Amino acid sequence: MYNKKVLDHFQKPKNMGKLKNPDVVAEVGNMQCGDIMRLYIKVKDDKIKDISFETMGCVAAISTSSMITELAKGKTLAQASKITFQDVVGELGELPPVKMHCADLAVKALRKAIKKYQGNKD
Q: Which residues carry out catalysis?
A: 33, 102
Binds another protein by CB under 8 A, chosen from 62, 83, 92, 113: 62
Binds another protein by CB under 8 A, chosen from 5, 14, 58, 116: 58
- Examine residue 32 and tell whether it contacts another protein (CB under 8 A): yes
For the chain, what is the HEC assignment? Answer: CCCHHHHHHHHCCCCECCCCCCCEEEEEECCCCCCEEEEEEEEECCEEEEEEEEEECCHHHHHHHHHHHHHHCCCEHHHHHCCCHHHHHHHHCCCCHHHHHHHHHHHHHHHHHHHHHHHHHC
- Examine residue 18 and tell whether it contacts another protein (CB under 8 A): yes
Applying CB under 8 A, the residues found at the interface with another protein are 2, 7, 10-11, 13, 16-18, 31-36, 38, 54-59, 61-62, 98, 101
